[in-house]
Structure 1
Amino acid sequence: MAKPQYEGYSANTATILVSENLAGAKIYNQNAKSLLNKATGFISSYDFTLNPYRGCQYGCSYCYAAAFSPNPKMRGDWGKWVIVKQNAVNILEKELQGWYKKNPDKPPSIYMSSVTDPYQPIESKQLLTRSLLEVMVNYQPTLVIQTRSPMIVRDIDILQKFSRLRINMTIPTGSESVRKDFEPKAPSVPARLKAIGKLKFSIPCNEENDVRFSITVTPLLPTLPEHQVGFIRKLEIADRVVIQEFHASHTRSLVAGTREEAQAIKEKYGWWYDNERVSYLKFKEKLDSLLSGVEIKEGKEGFGYD
């Protein structure tokens, strides 16, 4: 089968046209062959990954997911296009029905999302992630939601109905100036902290609902010295804090790694990156000393549900 040709990114006749432009990104609609994909690598402890979209409007400079763009030109334009999986709701319903036919007494574990943000700006219009939650809540999988968007609080009414849920809020730095350098399109640090607080207050863990909250400081970006103590103390709202360093750098398509854009920005923060390992260890020491009653995990270990 011929590869799809995306309007604006192909020298051949386009087979997938731009449906609209939103917040500086080309939006495409495309049917997906599957929605639940076997989880591997960093999140291999789950049965499936679920990505409602392909691409991400946040376009963070360091994002490894750019490696999985449809073609090199789209990889270079990471953050400027999004593919909406327009048949996702129907596909998910069928796939969950199929799972339970084979595994009637074993709910699947699902990680949403591994290579996109389910609450990027297009979601406010598409409501695709919300529609998928409405399907999943009827099947009660073990669900982990990974996002950096406060938009997730919109769906508190549905999230309250899940029996096994972990919400991971990505906050890689406690300094807004650093955030603006590395991920200028992403929501602010205070907005994310406020969102995780609202979620924890609104979705209590009790005998019926096993709900957990993580803040993933991943990849660990610099936090200015004068902000470190204040930022770390705000992380007490979570049950778990996860930290990890940058992925190794790769320039080839379909190889996950830190993008060149982030490598260039890192030069501005020589005080941190000239000896990155020492900076990482010192920050972790502060986490250990200032946080009590909060799990602190590193890398892959931190992304499991339990």
Structure 2
Amino acid sequence: MAESFLPPQALKGRGAASNPEGRFESIRHHAEDDGWQSLLLDEQAPRPRTEVTEERARSVITRNDSPDVHFNQALNPYRGCEHGCIYCFARPSHSYLNLSPGLDFETKLRAKSNLAEVLRHELARPSYTVSPINIGSNTDPYQPIERRWKLTRAALEVLAECRHPCTIVTKNAMVERDIDILAPMARENLVQVFVSINSLDNHLAAKLEPRASAPHRRIKAVRTLHEAGIPVGVLVAPIIPALNDSDMEAVLEQAADAGATCAGFTTLRLPYELKALFREWLALHVPQRAAHVMSLMQQMHGGRDYDSDFSTRMRGQGVFAEPIRRRFDVACRKHGFGRTRELSLDTTKFVPPRKPSPQGQLF
């Protein structure tokens, strides 16, 4: 991690406070005090602005065989995410772009501008096997830059045309914009939306996930989707011990009241560079609880900050993880929630997209 004589400072509207090098970098930067430190401390550091780079993708459907993930196909219109959630497990993926999992992840974004074209090509392959595609498995498909780029909407238009099933995971109320596409798909059992809500505390959410919709706005989105006839679930994720775990039952209660019919949860996981970034966030925002939070995290992962074992990485283990699971199960029974793994969408209606023809289509 890059060192500096200037301590990291919380940045309004951003989750990370620094830009450590990714794990693949061969060069490390080290700042030295040249005697101008007192002057630098008096200057206000400029806020990093969001930059979006167009990317021409060669493929857009990714496959997954992880036993603890309940889908095997996914689609992500963007690399990086402007929501800036400090806990995001996708942050380390920015290292593959030679960018930092820190501020770069939420400010230097990539948009797959040819997504709809490539998706249509992949769905038209004779060897393609239909399976629900999850949109937003890595980065949020309705992050703020979607307002301009509309790549998620373009993907949904292709899937709706082909009558291909999909699921959506988001923490942004912008999903309401696409009800005109989602509602007809829902009537044919081709879509389900999951809204991620891990706390009802607006003050905490503004620090944990600074550019996502506020919790109460996400609850409203659940209600709006439900009233439009779109199946909607809630994901209480991630649950962070001693930080937001006390809100779990209240989130499930309000989501059920708004019309959510199924629920899931995960606990915080800290792969690769995310460990140091989250520790830095704790020191800046909740210093009095930082050591306690990390102690509980280690108790849930065999004494380490993170254990990548498929059987435990999503839920943790031990004397703190087990009560969370039991509380979740009790709350789900109380509110009549099904489990996310019980999802079943219709894969029999799929019609492969036609190849463009210079003569057009008669029928």
TM-score band w.r.t. shorter chain: 0.7 to 0.9
1:62 equivalent among 87, 93, 97 = 87
Aligned equivalent of 2:207? 181
1:35 equivalent among 28, 42, 60 = 60
Aligned equivalent of 1:254? none
Aligned equivalent of 1:217? 236
Instruction: Give a deviation string over 1:187-217, Cα, whole Å, max 9, x none.
Output: 100011100110011025xxxxxxx322111
Instruction: Give a deviation string over 1:233-271, Cα, whole Å, max 9, x none.
Output: 1021321221111114422xxxxxx44222334462456
1:240 equivalent among 262, 266, 282 = 262
Instruction: Give a deviation string over 1:280-305, Cα, whole Å, max 9, x none.
Output: 5445444444432113x5xxxx4673
Q: CA–CA distance in 2 between the matches of 1:72 and 1:150?
A: 31
The 3-state SS of whatever aligns with 2:58 is coil
CA contact (8 A) 2:83 2:212 kept: yes
Q: CA–CA distance in 2 between the matches of 1:235 and 1:168?
A: 11
The aligned amino acid for 2:234 is: I
1:141 equivalent among 151, 159, 164 = 164
Structure with higher Rg: it is 2
Aligned equivalent of 2:194? 168
Instruction: Give a deviation string over 1:176-197, Cα, whole Å, max 9, x none.
Output: 2221221122210001110011
* Count, aligned residues: 263
Q: 1:102 to 1:73 in 2, by over 3 A?
A: closer
CA contact (8 A) 2:60 2:76 kept: yes
1:231 equivalent among 251, 254, 276 = 251
Q: 1:261 to 1:39 in 2, by over 3 A?
A: same
Aligned equivalent of 1:84? 111
Aligned equivalent of 1:194? 220
Q: 1:110 to 1:43 in 2, by over 3 A?
A: farther
Q: 1:266 to 1:285 in 2, by over 3 A?
A: farther
Q: CA–CA distance in 1 between the matches of 2:203 and 2:181?
A: 34
How far off is 1:153 after superposition? 0.3
Aligned equivalent of 1:260? 276
Q: CA–CA distance in 2 between the matches of 1:45 and 1:285?
A: 21
CA contact (8 A) 1:143 1:166 kept: yes
Q: 1:280 to 1:136 in 2, by over 3 A?
A: same
Identity %: 23
The aligned amino acid for 1:244 is: T
Aligned equivalent of 1:294? 337
Q: CA–CA distance in 2 between the matches of 1:279 and 1:177?
A: 25
The 3-state SS of whatever aligns with 1:177 is helix
CA contact (8 A) 1:144 1:305 kept: no
Alignment of 1:113-132 (within 5 A): 113-132=136-155
TM-score, normalization by structure 2? 0.65
Q: 1:266 to 1:96 in 2, by over 3 A?
A: same
The aligned amino acid for 1:179 is: A
How far off is 1:127 after superposition? 1.3
How far off is 1:279 after superposition? 5.5
Which is richer in strand? 1
Q: CA–CA distance in 2 between the matches of 1:181 and 1:281?
A: 27
The 3-state SS of whatever aligns with 2:234 is strand
RMSD over equivalenced CA pairs, Å: 2.8
Q: CA–CA distance in 2 between the matches of 1:228 and 1:218?
A: 9
The 3-state SS of whatever aligns with 2:168 is strand
